[in-house]
Chain A
Amino acid sequence: MTGRLSPVLIGFAVLVYAFLMGPLIIVIGAALSDTTFLTFPPQGLSLRWFERIFEIGAFRRTMVTSFQVATLATICALIVGIPAAYALNRYRVQLPGWLSTLFVLPVLVPEIVLGFSLLRSIQVGAGFPVFSTLLIGHTLLVLPYCVRVISASLASFDFSIEEAAISLGSPKWKTFFTIVLPNVRSGVIAAFILAFITSINDVSVALFLTGPGISTLPIQILAHVEQFFDPVIASVSVLLMVLTVAVMAVVERTLGLTFLTK
């Protein structure tokens, strides 16, 4: 769908994109400032606020926790999500329709309610350790992404290839690993990366599931901002933006970024 657009509309879109990009550019500028307070445009260029991130123990620790939780939660969600996505596509006729709704339920239930309920019933009620509860919360949080992305990959997979392998005598479980999985590899990679970034960025679930010595990076950022207003937060933000760019590059290579408009 291409054609002439009125200059008013184009001007409007330019303003909207300036509005979208502006604040992020300001954060980058503020991170490079040589001052002890947050300011834009930066006064004097320096990278010292990037060094400062790693000097603050709480940032180092929460970064490690965030990476551990994001990696483990994504792996757990893939382990349960890949077979579920496979079943939803392969046995669509045999399975009830509500099953696919069940797997997107974590998107429908407000994240903050999930976080509070896990604290109430699982951490306090059932006595689960803080880290396990956090891991469970993030696994639920990213499960819908895993099921959805891999389902989309499987939708274009020709299941007759799998049947051909089975009829030639390949055991069913072996066929799954040697025929089905390699064919949806790009979907699995994209699901991994989208789930990972979702977990890294999460606030609302982790908000309730941190405990002594266990916290995630976004929660630490929130806590830091409430006490200090120095450029170190801007530097952490820039690090997270670099991560975002890396994620986008991977998604572009696997599914194509236009996948996100579908």
Chain B
Amino acid sequence: MLKRLSGWAMSAPATALVVVFLILPVGATIAATFAVGGGPLAAYVDYLSSGFRRTVLWRTLEIALLTTLFSVIIGFFTAYVVSRASPRWRSILIIAAVFPLLTGVVVRSFAFLILLGRNGMVNNVLVWLGVEGAPFSMLYTEGAVIVAMVYLFVPLMVLTLVGVLENIPDDVIQAAASLGATPPQIFRQVIFPLAVPGLIVGAVLVFTGSFTAYATPQLVGGENVMVMGTFLHQQAMVTFDWDSASTIAAIMVVVTLAVVLAMTRMARRLNPMAT
């Protein structure tokens, strides 16, 4: 009893902080969307009734799904190479993935402005190669946002998966090999299934991160590629329509939590090591 009390007492300040400044304000934002006149779901019906707002939601989902797909594929094979590299190379490659991860989102998105701009590197190379129609306007397109976001999330994916792949016991792989499995078979039938739960965890991080991103779509996509994050900011700070901004915020929370809950449950089910 006394132990329980001191446990609560020590975690009380952090609990209070999260409850008062996170749960209550975010809860209030979500609650406000049900208080709009015309029925409890009026705000959402209104949101989905506008073609433009529907487009923003679908576009954001599309960008987030494609970003996740590319990041997972690129991250998985890269992490596989990193996890099988010699210890020396492994630490170099891990450092090379941590560096971009710890460099801010603004800096990394800004790099793509220099890279993809009309006078940017990619266009200069294309002109130099004599490609028909170059320079292209590549910025402020959905493709540019996806490429920049994949760039943003690949390091996270690599680091998550290196940990997962390194945790696969050597015995399992050796057992498969001694039973006559070829390296591609080991990869497909042993390593990949064991990495699936980690892949799902990484995919959730990338999906929620790209679904709620602001800085990258703002810098690389601009007004042309409005997504939920930039739309929320525009509604709240430019047009000062806080009801609309709250609805966008609530949709973001619901989608994020639904994906996190569904996918972590799936990761647990698909874990072949679980008993």
Contacts and interface: CB of A to CB of B under 8 A. Distances in A.
Contact of B252 (A21, A110, A118): A110
Give 4 nearest A-B pairs by CB, closest first: A91-B7, A201-B104, A23-B111, A110-B212
Given A9-B77, A40-B114, A91-B4, A110 B233 contact: no
Contact of B18 (A24, A91, A105): A105
Contact of B13 (A20, A80, A116): A80
Interface stretch (B38-46, B47-55, B128-136, B166-174): B166-174
A93 B182 CA distance: 46
- Classify the secondary structure of B's interface with A: helix
Given A112-B229, A261-B160, A102 B21 contact: no
Nearest to A99: B11
Interface stretch (A11-19, A53-61, A152-160, A182-190): A11-19
Interface in B97-122: 97-108, 110-115, 117, 119-121
Nearest to B86: A2
Given A203-B215, A240-B104, A258-B94, A117 B26 contact: yes
B259 to A, nearest CB: 10
Given A203-B215, A221-B107, 14 more contacts: A2-B85, A3-B84, A9-B81, A12-B77, A79-B13, A87-B8, A91-B4, A91-B10, A94-B3, A95-B4, A114-B26, A117-B26, A222-B219, A262-B163
Contact of B110 (A83, A200, A237): A237
Nearest to B250: A113
A26 interface: yes
Given A20-B97, A20-B154, A108-B257, A84 B165 contact: no
B84 A103 contact: no
B233 A103 contact: no
B224 interface: no
A169 B119 CA distance: 72
Contacts of A30: 114
- Classify the secondary structure of A's interface with B: helix
Given A10-B81, A16-B154, A140-B21, A248 B214 contact: no
A80 B14 CA distance: 5
A102 B95 contact: no
Nearest to A16: B78
Interface of A: 1-5, 9-10, 12-13, 16-17, 19-24, 26-27, 30, 37-40, 79-81, 83-84, 86-88, 90-91, 94-95, 99, 102-103, 105-106, 108-114, 116-122, 125, 136-137, 139-140, 143, 147, 197, 200-201, 203-204, 207-208, 218, 221-222, 225, 229, 233-234, 237, 240-241, 244-245, 247-248, 257-258, 260-262
Residue of B10, B102, B208 contacting most chain A CB atoms (<10 Å): B102
B74 interface: yes
B34 interface: no
Nearest to B22: A140
A105 B253 contact: no
A20 B101 CA distance: 10
Contact of B17 (A37, A80, A247): A80
Given A12-B81, A17-B96, A248-B102, A90 B214 contact: no
19 contacts: A1-B84, A9-B77, A9-B80, A27-B111, A95-B8, A109-B26, A109-B253, A114-B25, A118-B25, A139-B17, A201-B105, A203-B215, A207-B237, A221-B106, A221-B107, A222-B106, A222-B215, A222-B218, A234-B114
B236 interface: yes
A12 B78 contact: yes
Interface in B156-197: 159-160, 162-163, 165-166, 168, 170, 173, 183
A117 B249 contact: yes
A248 B99 contact: yes
Contact of A114 (B6, B22, B105, B219): B22
A201 B104 CA distance: 5
Interface string B72-84: 0010011011111
Nearest to A144: B18
Contacts of A248: 95, 98-99, 102
Contact of B245 (A103, A116, A245): A116
B102 A91 contact: no
B7 A95 contact: yes
Contact of B3 (A1, A37, A91, A105): A91
A36 B25 CA distance: 45
Given A94-B3, A108-B257, A245 B29 contact: no
Nearest to B26: A117
A228 to B, nearest CB: 12
B110 A261 contact: no
B56 interface: no
A241 B85 contact: no
